[in-house]
Chain A
Amino acid sequence: RKEVEQDPGPFNVPEGATVAFNCTYSNSASQSFFWYRQDCRKEPKLLMSVYSSGNEDGRFTAQLNRASQYISLLIRDSKLSDSATYLCVVKYAGGTSYGKLTFGQGTILTVHP
């Protein structure tokens, strides 16, 4: 089983649409969770951290279900500029302050006019 698994898409949606991405992770000891976005041939950029209580940042809402080892990202009112690959990322720190990030394959989103 892959450590972090995402639906690769692609998702093609019109501007203004709501789109949801899902992700599952296999290591139950994982401690921190993130969504990053990656534009073509660019570096991953932090979109948002994901907290157990769920969190929102503008049009973006992230949810975490530790029992099901499941993470989601909801994008409302999609913009053309939201077109990117969305990376589900998990960190297991093993009690340290640092720890490697484990990336999913990414979900490709294209928002069209």
Chain B
Amino acid sequence: EPEVTQTPSHQVTQMGQEVILRCVPISNHLYFYWYRQILGQKVEFLVSFYNNEISEKSEIFDDQFSVERPDGSNFTLKIRSTKLEDSAMYFCASSGPQEKAQYFGPGTRLLVL
């Protein structure tokens, strides 16, 4: 069964550093998303991406964040100048052209020290 994959599974970084989180969506999916979940809190939408551009973003997704689809398979989330409060689990998700549901990757646990 096709799956969304994410790397790395864990990332530890120093405050102020830049991190890039990587995702490989399900191969025939066209819509890509990033969500985050701070420990003990609910899953929150960050951004959606379709046809090589952002289609929607939340107020969390400010200038510190950017997304890119650098090639035909990868979808990345870059966080510049990380802050302590960026520590969270970051989930990538994708959905197909006829799908209403979204399928999540296993997540990257980011810890900012």
Point out residues on A near B: beta carbons under 8 Å. Answer: 32, 34, 38, 41-46, 49, 87, 91, 93, 96-106
Contact = CB atoms under 8 A, between A and B. Distances in A.
6 contacts: A43-B105, A49-B100, A87-B43, A99-B48, A100-B56, A101-B93
Contacts of A96: 55
A87 B41 CA distance: 12
Judged by DSSP, the binding face of A is strand
A45 B104 contact: yes
Q: Which 9 A-B pairs have the closest CB atoms?
A: A100-B45, A43-B104, A98-B31, A103-B43, A32-B100, A105-B42, A103-B42, A46-B101, A44-B104
Interface in B82-109: 89, 91, 93, 95, 97, 100-107, 109
Contacts of A99: 48, 56
A42 B48 contact: no
Contacts, number: 55
Contacts of A100: 33, 45, 48, 56, 58
Interface of B: 31, 33, 35, 41-45, 48, 50, 55-56, 58, 89, 91, 93, 95, 97, 100-107, 109
Contacts of A93: 100
Judged by DSSP, the binding face of B is strand
A93 B58 CA distance: 14
B95 A98 contact: yes
A46 B43 CA distance: 14
A43 B92 CA distance: 9
Nearest to B33: A100
A98 B25 CA distance: 15
A91 B33 contact: no
